Amino acid sequence: MSEKPRLTYINGRGRMESIRWLLAAAGVEFEEIFLQTREQLLKLGQDGSLMFHQLPLVEIDGMKLVQCRAILSYIAGKYNLYGKDLKERALIDMYVEGISDLMQLILMFPFSPPEAKEKNIATISEKATERYFPVFEKVLKQHGQDFLVGNRFSWADVQLMEAILAVEEKVPSVLSGFPQLQAFKTKMSNMPTIKKFLQPGSPRKPPPDENYVATVMKIFKLD
């Protein structure tokens, strides 16, 4: 039947990592193509594979999908991780968008100058502990359920899990004031698909390093 989805990006987290998380959480195996030169990116643009000449690109079900949110929404919808109706969908969207604002700080962090790094970590810590994590701590406390929305595993849970781990890499004690989130993290880590994704050898990519930054600058020619 259908082939596996195929992801085209660089060999690093960037804007593709949330997609890897979601596919993995849904138990979907996928293939990856890693670009190493700018010429490869330009060629993809020229042959019409990239609608807006940008990555990520995910080939799935006969489509060449670009734009992270379009890709994530499609995967969530297809694998029943998007709630049962419009209202649950709205909750999931709100949670995912909020978390995505926090993840944007993490995404940009490797590209900040060395002298700004300490301040940026402080900003990430502040936003996580004062704006975003309290919201989800409260949601989980209020309904007492395992999952954020509709008593059922959804895209929102996957995104929150990814964000918790990403922030912890920068601020190891960030969950110290959030007992519900600590329990959530443990439960998510033990879900079979996520457990597998968290093991060595999975498609999960390591934290960005200098090599990653250099590759991004070279291939995407950031302004």
Q: How far is the CB of 49 from another protein (least distance, A)?
A: 13
User: Each residue of 167-206: b (16+ CB within 10 Å) or e?
Assistant: beebbeebbeebebbeebbeebeebeebeebbeeeebbbe
Q: How far is the CB of 52 from another protein (least distance, A)?
A: 5
Binding site for another protein (CB under 8 A): 51-53, 61, 63, 65-70, 73-74, 77-78, 86-87, 89-90, 93-94, 97-98, 101, 131-132, 135, 223
Give the residue with the Cβ less far from another protein, 92 or 194.
92
In angstroms, the CA 74 to CA 170 distance is 30
For 193, the token pair is 């698909």
Sheet holding 31-34, edge to edge: 31-34, 6-9, 57-60, 63-66
Give the residue with the Cβ less far from another protein, 35 or 72.
72
Phi, psi of 7 (to 5 degrees): -105, 130
Give the residue with the Cβ less far from another protein, 157 or 194.
157
Q: How far is the CB of 68 from another protein (least distance, A)?
A: 8
Q: How far is the CB of 98 from another protein (least distance, A)?
A: 5
